[in-house]
């Protein structure tokens, strides 16, 4: 069954610690994305990757880092430099970047709480 998996579903960390969120897809998609969702707001793009070993900053990349060593995997690290890390994080993937041509499929999300 093809899809996107994100783990864990809930994650708790102490302030000042880095934390890595996992995103894996078996849809054979080239493009992958990370979004952040806060209550009462739409999704905002953190990073995206068009192809392996390449990624670009989105609108709110400060305090985050990513890697794309494998086509299937696009982990997101929330660093201690991120001022307000508590949020719901969603990973997505698509065959290509052109949104009008390629639907983005979303994972179930990881809810990160930092205290």
Partner 1 sequence: AQSVTQLDSHVSVSEGTPVLLRCNYSSSYSPSLFWYVQHPNKGLQLLLKYTSAATLVKGINGFEAEFKKSETSFHLTKPSAHMSDAAEYFCVVSEGYKLSFGAGTTVTVRA
> What does the binding site for partner 1 look like in residue numbers (CB under 8 A)?
4, 9, 31, 40-45, 48, 88, 90, 92, 97-101, 103-104, 106-109, 111
Contact assessment for residue 107 and residue 92, using Cβ atoms and an 8 Å cutoff: yes
User: Please, which residue, 54 or 98, has the CB nearer to partner 1?
Assistant: 98
Burial class (CB in 10 A: 0-12, 13-18, 19+), 90: buried
User: Please, which residue, 13 or 97, has the CB nearer to partner 1?
Assistant: 97
How far apart are CB 115 and partner 1 at their closest, in Å? 19
User: Please, which residue, 82 or 94, has the CB nearer to partner 1?
Assistant: 94
Alpha carbon distance 97, 51 (integer Å):
10
């Amino acid at each position: 069954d093809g899809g996107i998996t994100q783990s864990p579903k809930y994650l708790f960390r102490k302030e000042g610690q880095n934390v890595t969120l996992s995103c894996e897809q078996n849809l054979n998609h080239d493009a992958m994305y990370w979004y952040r969702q806060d209550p009462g707001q739409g999704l905002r793009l953190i990073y995206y990757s068009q192809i392996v070993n390449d990624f670009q900053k989105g609108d709110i990349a400060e305090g985050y880092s990513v890697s794309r060593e494998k086509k299937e995997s696009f982990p997101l690290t929330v660093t201690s430099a991120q001022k307000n890390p508590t949020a719901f994080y969603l990973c997505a993937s698509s065959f290509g970047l052109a949104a009008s041509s390629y639907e983005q499929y979303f994972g179930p999300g990881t809810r990160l709480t930092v205290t």
